[in-house]
Amino acid sequence: MPAAHPPAASPEPVEPGDGLTVAGGDQEIPEATADTAVPESHGKRVSFVELYLDLIFVLAVGRLSQLLVEEPTGHRVLVTLGLFLLLWWTWIGFVVLFNRYGVDDRWQRFAFLAATVPGGIAAVAVVPAADGDTAVLAGALAAIRFVLVIAHFDKGHVVDLARQRASAIYAVSGTMFAVSLLLPERARLILWGVIILSESGAILDDDLRRDELPEFERGQRRTREEVRQLRAHARDARRRARAHRKAEQRAQRGRGRDREQAGPEMLARFAPKDPKDGLDAHHFAERFGLFLIILLGEVVLEAGKGTLDHREILAQQWVSLGAAMVLAASLWWLYFSVAADINRQVLDLAGGSPAIARTIFAVGHMVPAFALLLISGGVGALIEHEGSTAAAPHLSGAYVLVSAGLALYLFGTRSFMFANSGPSGALRAAILVATVFLARLRHELAPNEYLLVVTVWALGCAALVIRDASYFGRRAARIAESEGV
């Protein structure tokens, strides 16, 4: 007879809010809820609704890249750059929104999902806008700004003037985009440039709360004179703080202290006075890394699309496709092996300073991001038009797009130019200049041969930063240890 098993112990009732205990141990697992927060040390996680919104920008990037494939000329590059900046700062608006206020609740999800409607229209409207028909794009960009106005709506009972200020910025931008529909084409484009300049300087301001008064309940009133005096006092305090910080920076440079110890102290001075103004460094860095992944994917996509556009795929097209895959992997290595971690650590040490985030990410990442767009357009044009005598002028421009894009990417990621191992800075600068002049090989090499040369060149540049990955890893560990992390 089988041995009788002892009766199973009846489980103890679990009170609401209690955690569950792991079998055979004392470790308690907290109850999972929709609002369970990620541990603070890991930063805010990227939400699924953000990733869904990114699909709209995947579509937009694909349309911009295709514009370059069809016409890789200097004029088309400038047009694409202008359209890219419009979409870039639109995307950053949602990144900053979720980083500051996002809790992934129903209200935030509704706002992000609502933005996909005008966002999708804008992504497709870049194609007619490149040919001068910008009306649909203007309307879509205006609608997106009004969605951002609603998304910044504060449901709490305490007035948050920083949030209201961001909402006001997008209300003005949305209105200006709508007004641009009434203007002639050239005046419309000038107004768009003014809008982007104002947004870029405002949404990542060094002190979003510079005009904020002490928090007060809704309905409480102050006299106009009290408001004027408080704001004047805030402006004076801000000027004194900036002057003091500049004096400390000059003194720090004069003392010539060890850079490894002085760097974190210097960055800490950029931390916002109000912690609520600080950005989550982990989330912010991850969002920009994901956008670069989108653009790297566009390099892969254009290479595959260009190959499939041939009625008969020959060996040279397969060689070009393989070279493009290796090229994309090399570009990934140049950024994510070193630069991605450094950028995140700098923003973290700066306390999530909006000024540092604007310099390193919002503005600093425009160069490598647009460089990847140039590379994707050049690679797609080289593979698609390979062997076509009618497309000879397009091929000439495609050579330039790839070489210039690679040079911009090497410079923009900073991991190559400012590496601490391998050749000196002067030699790296010479390599950067030589990268631009790779386009001169268009008179000597076929597209598949040229892609092979560029790929080998990119692999060599990636090899120069391999040692830096371990160097910066050890340095980060020492900084973390000194900070008691």
In the prediction, which pLDDT does 57 show?
Answer: 95
User: Is residue 28, in this structure, part of any structural domain at all?
Assistant: no
In the prediction, which pLDDT does 210 show?
Answer: 46
Q: Which of 155-164, 172-181, 249-258 tops mean pLDDT?
A: 172-181
State the virtual CA torsion across 437, 441, 447, 451 in degrees, nearest 10.
-50
User: Is residue 58, in this structure, part of any structural domain at all?
Assistant: yes
Q: Which of 30-39, 346-355, 389-398, 432-441 tops mean pLDDT?
A: 432-441
Q: Within this chain, do residues 197 and 281 fall inside the same structural domain, yes or no?
A: no
Model pTM score: 0.79
Q: Residue 123, class by beta-carbon neighbours within 10 Å (0-12 exposed, 13-18 middle, 19+ buried)?
A: buried
Q: Within this chain, do residues 292 and 188 fall inside the same structural domain, yes or no?
A: no
In the prediction, which pLDDT does 155 show?
Answer: 61
Q: What is the pLDDT of residues 214-223, one digit of tens each?
A: 444 334 445 6
For residue 279, pLDDT over 60 is answered with yes
Q: What distance, in Å, lies between the first and last C-alpha atoms of the chain?
A: 60
Residue 367 corresponds to which amino acid? V
Question: Of the residues 169, 202, 235, which one is the last residue of a structural domain?
Answer: 202
User: Is residue 377, in this structure, part of any structural domain at all?
Assistant: yes
Question: Of the residues 179, 202, 225, which one is the last residue of a structural domain?
Answer: 202
Q: What is the pLDDT of residues 101-116, one digit of tens each?
A: 877 678 888 989 999 9
Both tokens of 179, joined, read 């007004």
For residue 34, pLDDT over 90 is answered with no
Residue 425 CB coordination number (10 Å) = 10
* Integer CA distances (angstroms), 52 to 107, 148, 151, 279, 372, in order: 16, 16, 16, 22, 22
Q: Within this chain, do residues 46 and 157 fall inside the same structural domain, yes or no?
A: yes
Mean pLDDT of 172-191: 93
Q: What is the pLDDT of residues 315-346, one digit of tens each?
A: 888 999 999 999 999 999 999 988 888 889 88
Q: Within this chain, do residues 306 and 438 fall inside the same structural domain, yes or no?
A: yes
Answer whether 301's CB lies under 8 Å from 377's CB: no
- Whole-number average pLDDT of the chain: 78
**Between these two residues, 34 and 407, which has the higher pLDDT value?**
407
Q: Domain of 435?
A: 275-483
Q: Within this chain, do residues 346 and 468 fall inside the same structural domain, yes or no?
A: yes
Q: Where residue 425 falls among pLDDT bands split at 50, 70, 90?
A: confident
Q: Where residue 282 falls among pLDDT bands split at 50, 70, 90?
A: very high
For residue 254, pLDDT over 70 is answered with no
**Between these two residues, 41 and 433, which has the higher pLDDT value?**
433
Question: Of the residues 185, 202, 219, which one is the last residue of a structural domain?
Answer: 202
Q: Within this chain, do residues 310 and 436 fall inside the same structural domain, yes or no?
A: yes
For residue 129, pLDDT over 90 is answered with yes
Q: How many domains does the chain have?
A: 2
Q: Where residue 159 falls among pLDDT bands split at 50, 70, 90?
A: low
Q: Within this chain, do residues 322 and 435 fall inside the same structural domain, yes or no?
A: yes
User: Is residue 12, in this structure, part of any structural domain at all?
Assistant: no
User: Is residue 66, in this structure, part of any structural domain at all?
Assistant: yes
Q: Within this chain, do residues 65 and 171 fall inside the same structural domain, yes or no?
A: yes
> Of the ranges 166-180, 313-327, 416-430, which one carries the lowest mean pLDDT score?
416-430
**Between these two residues, 205 and 147, which has the higher pLDDT value?**
147
Q: What is the pLDDT of residues 442-459, one digit of tens each?
A: 888 888 899 999 999 999
Q: Where residue 395 falls among pLDDT bands split at 50, 70, 90?
A: confident
Q: Within this chain, do residues 302 and 389 fall inside the same structural domain, yes or no?
A: yes
The upper half-sphere exposure of residue 126, i.e. CA atoms within 13 Å in the direction of its Cβ, equals 28
Mean pLDDT of 27-41: 39
For residue 86, pLDDT over 60 is answered with yes
Instruction: Round to whole Å and give the CA distance between 201 and 4.
Output: 75
User: Is residue 140, in this structure, part of any structural domain at all?
Assistant: yes
For residue 32, pLDDT over 80 is answered with no
User: Is residue 262, in this structure, part of any structural domain at all?
Assistant: no
User: Is residue 426, in this structure, part of any structural domain at all?
Assistant: yes
Sorted by sequence, the CB contacts under 8 Å of residue 31 that are 6+ apart come out as: 17, 18, 19, 20
